[in-house]
């Protein structure tokens, strides 16, 4: 570990030039921009093989940077994946890390190391713009009209401009550094996930008011905001509510402001896009552009956003020294609650590429995601088959920046810096995945623990991966997980089952 660190520093000094020793090295610490999409699949970008959609700006990052083929989130849904990314800890070590309602309390500890704190300790300016979904405040019951804390600022971000949960959950407002943006004090916000509050129409009672229909039985039929039924009830806060078509543009301009506000210190920006999560209601200029329904349009919108961010980096003189990491929090889903054309206008697009399953699934498409790392000099461009996980970012950036971690810190985060910047083709030897059940990837093997549940989730029409039989796949020969080799290799199953059990039962 120590040797790797020394090697890394030597490498960084070598790459950036070592004219003035430490001072120069400090000066040249790269800005880090993580662009984190919501529900983007392994096959959703043209650089990952999509042919029905073109994503030229992201493809450029992939071409000039390093494109990973075996990079994972820890989990097949948002909250646990983000928890792992922020804490460097597998989410199942802590209870209550499943998909959170919009009024949940903060689940990230404020007294432990976090990804933004690593950057803060290294003297960076840190910011988050976009989706949060890790809870706010100390309890479910909270006053949305006062300062709402703890939240991202207490987790390590100097600046935050977020929405609390998901775009399909109330409250549909922005929160900037503890405060709801554009709130009129004479129209206070109230939120409930238990019962209807206020007298505003709901999607269930007044479907004729909707501009986009909710799919049956998904539950997106409560308070209507901007013509879209949401999960949860809210009243008040009329001036503060976002317009979906405008929301990604608001995030973009906040991210650009943060980048341009740069002074002497480098920045870490976690830019957390809402697309292509539901409700997909892209900006008007993108509606209909892809021919694949609003989901495809939302992906084109992501690509455009990346182009605009690259321009902002270039114009502010930061492009030469910004490491950009592009990824997604979990795999793709078509019908996740609204009739938005994702299913009916799919037109042969394959959001999961060659992989099986999707969001929520323990099959590969649940957690194997697009993952691109770009920096003009630090990152060696190409394609990497190294096994890496987003849980590794914390230890890897700590290593890059010389931030010391104790043995208790970020216990599941491995320093994979050299793999992440393309200076090593070796990544992890094993990784635990969480979806409908648990799986262990080790070398080319994937073992899925037996579990009970529907083989196909009816609502989303996604293969879950549930099976009462053990499953063993050779991912190098069979990335689509078609041939179960468990009976053929009982010893391997035994070995991996034991290792997985140990890793998923370990206490916090
Ligand atoms: C599910 C929602 C889905 C989506 C998901 C969270 C239902 C039936 N479905 O519970 O629409 O919001 O939660 O997605 O309620 S995630 O990407 O944030 O994990
Ligand atoms: Ca997600």
Centre of ligand 1 from the C-alpha of residue 64, in Å: 34
Centre of ligand 2 from the C-alpha of residue 277, in Å: 7
**Contact present, 373 and 68 (Cβ < 8 Å):** yes
- Residue 507 burial (C-beta neighbours within 10 Å; 0-12, 13-18, 19+): exposed
The DSSP code sequence of 285-341 is GGTTSSSSHHHHHHHHHHHHHHHHHHHHHHHTT-GGGEEEEEEESS---S-SSB-SS
What are the sequence ranges of the domains in the chain?
2-420, 436-504
Residues of the chain with pLDDT under 70: 1-28, 506-508
Centre of ligand 1 from the C-alpha of residue 101, in Å: 9
Residue bearing the CA closest to ligand 1, atom 4: 336
Tally Cβ neighbours within 10 Å of residue 418: 19
What is the C-alpha to C-alpha distance for residues 37 and 93, in angstroms, rounded to an integer?
24
Centre of ligand 1 from the C-alpha of residue 336, in Å: 7
What is the C-alpha to C-alpha distance for residues 187 and 241, in angstroms, rounded to an integer?
12
Which top CATH class is 2-420? alpha beta
Centre of ligand 1 from the C-alpha of residue 135, in Å: 15
Ligand with minimal distance to 79 CA: 1
Residue bearing the CA closest to ligand 1, atom 17: 78
In 216-291, which ranges are continuous DSSP H helix?
Answer: 247-260
Paired tokens of 429: 């030897």
What is the C-alpha to C-alpha distance for residues 391 and 298, in angstroms, rounded to an integer?
27
Which residue, 459, 464, 48, 75, is CA-closest to 278? 459
Is-cis flag, bond preceding 171, omega within 30? yes
**Residue appearing with tokens 């880090």:** 32
Paired tokens of 11: 């490498």
Task: Verify whether ligand 1 is closer than 6 Å to residue 133 (CB atom).
Answer: yes
In CATH terms, is domain 436-504 a member of 3.30.1120.10? yes
**Contact present, 54 and 361 (Cβ < 8 Å):** no
- Sign for the CA dihedral angle at 156, 161, 166, 169 comes to positive
* Three-class DSSP labels, 99-162: CCCCCCCCCCCCCCCCHHHHHHHCCCEEEEEEECCCCCCCCCCCCCCCCCCCCHHHHCCCEEEE
Centre of ligand 1 from the C-alpha of residue 100, in Å: 9
**Contact present, 400 and 12 (Cβ < 8 Å):** yes
185: left (phi over 0), alpha (psi -120 to 50) or beta: alpha
Task: Verify whether ligand 1 is closer than 6 Å to residue 168 (CB atom).
Answer: yes
At residue 180, what are phi and psi to the nearest 5 degrees?
-65, 130
What is the C-alpha to C-alpha distance for residues 154 and 442, in angstroms, rounded to an integer?
36
Residue bearing the CA closest to ligand 1, atom 8: 218
Nearest ligand 1 atom to the CA of 166 is 18
What is the C-alpha to C-alpha distance for residues 206 and 196, in angstroms, rounded to an integer?
14
Ligand 1 pocket test, pick from 231, 435, 462 with the greatest ligand atom count within 8 Å of Cβ, gives 231
From residue 282, alpha-carbon distances to 127, 194, 248, 263, 290 in Å are: 24, 30, 8, 33, 11
Cα Rg, the chain, nearest whole Å: 22
- Sign for the CA dihedral angle at 10, 16, 18, 20 comes to negative
Ligand with minimal distance to 336 CA: 1
> How much is the pLDDT for 18?
41
Centre of ligand 2 from the C-alpha of residue 485, in Å: 31
Contacts with 410 (C-beta within 8 Å, 6 or more apart), sequence order: 87, 88, 89, 113, 394, 395, 398
From residue 307, alpha-carbon distances to 60, 301, 311, 384 in Å are: 10, 10, 6, 23
Residue bearing the CA closest to ligand 1, atom 18: 78
Ligand 1 pocket test, pick from 39, 83, 277 with the greatest ligand atom count within 8 Å of Cβ, gives 277
CA 398 to chain centre: 20
Centre of ligand 2 from the C-alpha of residue 273, in Å: 10
**Residue appearing with tokens 């409700």:** 279
Residue bearing the CA closest to ligand 1, atom 13: 99
Task: Verify whether ligand 1 is closer than 6 Å to residue 39 (CB atom).
Answer: yes
Tens of pLDDT, residues 329-388: 999 999 999 999 999 999 999 999 999 999 999 999 999 999 999 999 999 999 999 999
Which residue, 215, 208, 201, 274, is CA-closest to 243? 274
Residues belonging to the chain: 508
Which residue, 370, 373, 371, 356, is CA-closest to 439? 356
Ligand 1 pocket test, pick from 75, 99, 203 with the greatest ligand atom count within 8 Å of Cβ, gives 99
Task: Verify whether ligand 1 is closer than 6 Å to residue 77 (CB atom).
Answer: yes
HSE-up (13 A, CA, CB side) for residue 379: 29
Tally Cβ neighbours within 10 Å of residue 377: 14
Residue bearing the CA closest to ligand 1, atom 11: 336
Strand-strand pairing, 179-180 and 228-229: unpaired
Tens of pLDDT, residues 197-240: 999 999 999 999 999 999 999 999 999 999 999 999 999 999 99
């Amino acid at each position: 570990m120590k040797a790797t660190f020394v090697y890394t520093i030597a490498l960084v000094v070598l790459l950036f030039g070592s004219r003035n020793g430490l001072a120069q090295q400090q000066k040249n610490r790269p800005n880090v921009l993580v662009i984190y999409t919501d529900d983007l699949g392994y096959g959703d970008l043209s650089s990952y093989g999509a042919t029905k959609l073109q994503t030229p700006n992201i493809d450029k990052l992939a071409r000039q940077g390093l494109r990973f083929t075996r990079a994972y989130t820890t989990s097949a849904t948002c909250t646990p994946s983000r928890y792992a990314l922020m804490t460097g800890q597998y989410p199942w070590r802590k209870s209550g890390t499943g998909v959170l309602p919009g009024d949940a309390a903060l689940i990230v500890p404020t007294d432990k190391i976090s990804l933004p704190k690593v950057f803060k300790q290294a003297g960076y300016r840190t910011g988050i713009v976009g989706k949060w979904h890790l809870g706010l405040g100390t309890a479910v019951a909270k006053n949305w009209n006062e300062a709402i804390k703890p939240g991202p600022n207490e987790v390590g971000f100097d600046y935050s401009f977020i929405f609390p949960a998901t775009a399909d959950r109330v409250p549909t407002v922005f929160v900037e550094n503890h405060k709801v943006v554009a709130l009129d004090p004479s129209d206070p916000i109230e939120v409930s996930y238990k019962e209807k509050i206020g007298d505003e129409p709901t999607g269930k009672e007044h479907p004729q008011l909707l501009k986009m229909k909710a799919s049956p039985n998904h539950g997106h039929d409560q308070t209507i905001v901007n013509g879209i039924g949401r999960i949860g009830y809210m009243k008040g806060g009329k001036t503060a509510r976002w317009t979906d078509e405008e929301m990604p543009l608001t995030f973009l301009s906040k991210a650009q402001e943060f980048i341009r506000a740069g002074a002497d210190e480098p920045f870490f920006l976690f830019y957390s896009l809402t697309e292509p999560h539901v409700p997909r209601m892209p900006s008007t200029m993108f509606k209909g552009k892809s021919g694949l329904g609003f989901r495809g349009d939302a992906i084109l919108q992501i690509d455009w956003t990346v182009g605009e961010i690259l321009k902002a980096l270039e114009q502010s003189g930061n492009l030469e020294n910004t490491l950009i990491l592009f990824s997604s929090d979990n795999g793709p889903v078509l019908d996740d609650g609204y009739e938005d054309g994702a299913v009916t206008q799919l037109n042969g697009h394959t959001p999961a590429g060659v992989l099986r399953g999707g969001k929520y699934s323990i099959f590969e498409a649940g957690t194997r995601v697009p993952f691109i790392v770009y920096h003009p000099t630090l990152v060696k461009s190409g394609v990497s088959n190294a096994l890496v996980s987003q849980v590794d970012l914390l230890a890897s950036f700590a290593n890059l920046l010389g931030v010391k971690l104790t043995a208790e810190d970020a216990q599941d985060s491995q320093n994979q810096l050299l793999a992440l910047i393309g200076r090593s083709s070796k990544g992890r030897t094993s990784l635990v995945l969480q979806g409908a059940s648990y799986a262990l990837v080790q070398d080319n093997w994937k073992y899925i623990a037996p579990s009970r549940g529907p083989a196909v989730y009816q609502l989303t029409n996604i293969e879950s991966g549930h099976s009462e039989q053990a499953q063993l796949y050779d991912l190098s020969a069979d990335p689509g997980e078609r041939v179960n080799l468990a009976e053929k290799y009982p010893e391997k199953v035994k070995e991996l089952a034991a290792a997985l059990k140990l890793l998923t039962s370990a206490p916090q």
